[in-house]
Amino acid sequence: MGSTITEKILARAAGRDEVHAGDIIEAKVDLALANDITAPLAIAEFEKAGFTKVFDPARIALVPDHFTPNKDIKAAGQAKKMREFARRHEIVNYFEVGRVGIEHVLLPDTGMVAPGDLVVGADSHTCTYGAVAAFSTGMGSTDFAAAMAWGHVWLRVPESIRFVYSGRPGAWVTGKDLILHTIGLIGVDGALYQAMEFSGEAIRTLSMDERFTMCNMAIEAGGKNGIVGFDEKTTQYLQARPEGSRARTAGRVFASDDDAEYARVLEIDASAVPLTVSKPHLPSNAAAAADLADVTIDQVVIGSCTNGRIADLRQAAAILRGKKVHANVRAIILPGTQQVCLDAIADGTMQALIEAGCAFSTPTCGACLGGHMGVLAEGERAVATTNRNFVGRMGHPGAEVYLASPYVAAASALAGHIATPEDVGAGKGGPR
Amino acid sequence: MIFEGTVHKYGRDVDTDVIIPARYLTTNDPAELAKHCMEDIDAEFVSTVQPGDIIVAHENFGCGSSREHAPVAIKASGISVVIASSFARIFYRNAINTGLPIVVCPAAASEAQAGDRLRVDLGAGTVENLTQSKEYDAEAFPPFMQELIDRGGLLKYVKAQLVERSRS
């Protein structure tokens, strides 16, 4: 019997010839990360347990991205605990405000993740890095504390679901539409405890940015990790990382065997996937954007760890350039990193967005989780390119969040209601 | 361990954002977090919960964010044990790691009603609905999880591993 890519990476990390779904393993960690919400709790547990030393100061990333720049005095106190810990333990990859970005955009973009790596993070969207053919999964603070001390983690090897996307995505359809549609098909626990392996000709046509978006949302189906096999686009992405970085030097390429065992194989015709929006209050509540034109909105958020990469901002700018955000709408851009900001300046993306009437934030998770930079009031409604639309997620529990792609979010910002690019006169286009 | 308490009943897909909204994640203090436990799904919870009470929910309890503050808040609110048809995987790990007792028991979870009195025997792996006079067998923990629990939790286990490594 063959192995899946997930099983092969975990076997390597566990130092075994092979592992199979259901095995409990102790595996070596290539990178462990936490943020300003999860790290303070982890630090408290680490110290309470009497640990005095981290396993490797170069393999830990501490990323203050959620409530930074500090949103209030208590958040400032939490960020301070993390900063002091980072200094005390000489954590190499601590990113101060001004250099920090949203963790799941920042870490792969700075070359800290290589194919075949095992990454654990005290943040549920750690599953993002499957886009570079790594195994990555989210955990809690105590698990992160243990990983910091031990350099290992215990894992149950997950079964895999293979998603095969055939055909070519239609006009304006992106990886975000594919993943929202997929979660709509299988539900928010449709991949509970399992690996989501994305494959098929449609996946090959997706940009790396879109693959990050798809893997990022594996957790919204309950998945342990999302993963895309290595190809020419992966190589190109990795080669563009900083010289000497892990991404350039440490990769180990694995691929699923033809006779690998899957819990389930799901075939999806990508050419039939509509521009998709997930309605409140679950990411699985998927609907066609075209059917939601009567939903008026107060706010649009474009960015986050799901869609805060430069390609996402360019997609938004393609719709908004030369036009004006609707009078009743606040459009907020949450870029993934400082580099994304610089790229957006260099090619005029930022100017187009600001001229259209968007507010351009510094990189932060901010509004996605109702922290700051765009909290919703009772009864308000937003279209967001983020990942969750739970009750209270973006502010008041009486607010509503509709999840969408940057194209649909930008079109909705112009229209003042949920809209497609064609609704706002953009004709037929898209990323391909 | 045996717990007896009154049921607070919820549906499926109870996410960690409603268990403890992100706007309160500027502290790790269990007592502070407990003041806002379940706030966005059940505004009455904090004023009605009694020490020993039991949360019962359907599938996928604790989905979404990895915030460990969620099981911490539940435990500090006085809840003795959470029974669900299934748990989201990060919450499951976090509950074990923070010492919040959890029980997977779909039959008990689907039949229990808000206000029922339940008796949970973790050692025997049974859930008894005293109000409805019914008894259920809970799913046992996988052996490795049981070992972690028996050895006093993950961080104690890791300490032992590190001591062993330094000896060899």
- Determine contact: B146 vs chain A, CB below 8 A: no
Of A40, A72, A124, the CB nearest to B66: A124
Q: Residue A242: how many CB atoms within 10 A of its CB?
A: 12
Of A45, A154, A390, the CB nearest to B155: A45
Domain shared by A355 and A379, yes or no: yes
Q: Residue A288: how many CB atoms within 10 A of its CB?
A: 14
Which helix (H) or strand (E) segment holds residue B81: the answer is: strand B81-84
pLDDT of residue A36 exceeding 90: yes
Residue B111 amino acid letter: E
* Inside any domain, residue A137: yes
pLDDT digits (tens, 9 = 90+) for A309-322: 999 999 999 999 99
Domain shared by A197 and A126, yes or no: yes
Domain shared by A73 and A160, yes or no: yes
Domain shared by A316 and A222, yes or no: no
Domain shared by A157 and A58, yes or no: yes
Alpha-carbon distance B125 to nearest alpha carbon in chain A (angstroms): 22
Closest residue, chain A, to B153 (C-alpha): A142
Of B65, B72, B162, the CB nearest to A124: B65
* Inside any domain, residue A399: yes
Could you check whether the bond before residue A396 is cis, i.e. omega within 30 degrees of 0?
no
Q: Which of A318, A306, A329 is nearest to A376 (CA)?
A: A329
pLDDT digits (tens, 9 = 90+) for B50-91: 999 999 999 999 999 999 999 999 999 999 999 999 999 999
Domain shared by A33 and A181, yes or no: yes
pTM, rounded to two decimals: 0.98
Q: Residue A368: how many CB atoms within 10 A of its CB?
A: 28
Which helix (H) or strand (E) segment holds residue A106: the answer is: helix A103-109
Q: How many residues does chain A have?
A: 432
Mean confidence (pLDDT) of chain A: 98
What is the average per-residue pLDDT within A108-129? 98
pLDDT of residue B168 exceeding 90: no
**Chain-chain contact of B65 with A369 (C-beta, under 8 angstroms):** yes
Q: Residue A322: how many CB atoms within 10 A of its CB?
A: 8
Which residues of A, range 242-301, sit inside 8 Å of B by Cβ?
282
Give the domain CATH number at A368: 3.30.499.10
8 Å CB contact between A365 and A68: no
* Inside any domain, residue A430: no
Q: Helices in A243-303 by DSSP H: which ranges?
A: 246-249
pLDDT digits (tens, 9 = 90+) for B11-45: 999 999 999 999 999 999 999 999 999 999 999 99
Domain ranges, residue A341: 277-424
Cα gap B105→B55, rounded to integer Å: 12
**Chain-chain contact of A124 with B64 (C-beta, under 8 angstroms):** yes
pLDDT of residue B65: 98
Domain shared by A237 and A101, yes or no: yes
Question: Pairing relation of β-strands A152-156 and B134-137?
Answer: unpaired
Instruction: Mark A117-131 as b/e (b = at least 16 C-beta within 10 Å).
Output: bbbbbbbbbbbbbbb
Domain shared by A227 and A367, yes or no: no
Instruction: Report which DSSP code applies to B38.
Output: T
pLDDT of residue A251: 87
**Chain-chain contact of B97 with A142 (C-beta, under 8 angstroms):** yes
* Inside any domain, residue A429: no
Closest residue, chain B, to A55 (C-alpha): B162
Of B23, B39, B89, the CB nearest to A370: B23
Q: How confident is the model at residue B151 (pLDDT cuts 50, 70, 90)?
A: confident
Query: What residues contact residue B44 under an 8 Å CB cut-off, 6+ apart?
Result: none
Q: How confident is the model at residue A166 (pLDDT cuts 50, 70, 90)?
A: very high
What is the average per-residue pLDDT within A293-299? 98
Domain shared by A228 and A291, yes or no: no
pLDDT digits (tens, 9 = 90+) for A81-106: 999 999 999 999 999 999 999 999 99
End-of-domain residue from the set A239, A269, A299:
A269
**In a mutagenesis test of the A interface, which of B67, B89, B141 is the best target, namely the one with the most A β-carbons within 10 Å?**
B89
DSSP for A150-184 reads HSEEEEEPPPEEEEEEES---TT--HHHHHHHHHH
pLDDT of residue B165: 87
Contacts of A282 in chain B (CB under 8 A): 13
Domain shared by A167 and A286, yes or no: no
* Inside any domain, residue A432: no
pLDDT of residue B166 exceeding 90: no
Domain shared by A304 and A204, yes or no: no
Q: Which of B35, B33, B100, B36 is nearest to B71 (CA)?
A: B100
Closest residue, chain A, to B63 (C-alpha): A222
**In a mutagenesis test of the B interface, which of A24, A41, A81, A156 is the best target, namely the one with the most B β-carbons within 10 Å?**
A41
- Determine contact: B97 vs chain A, CB below 8 A: yes
How many structural domains compose chain A? 2
- % of chain A exceeding 90 in pLDDT: 99
Q: Which of A304, A234, A270 is nearest to A431 (CA)?
A: A270
pLDDT of residue A432: 87
Closest residue, chain B, to A121 (C-alpha): B66
**Chain-chain contact of A78 with B27 (C-beta, under 8 angstroms):** yes
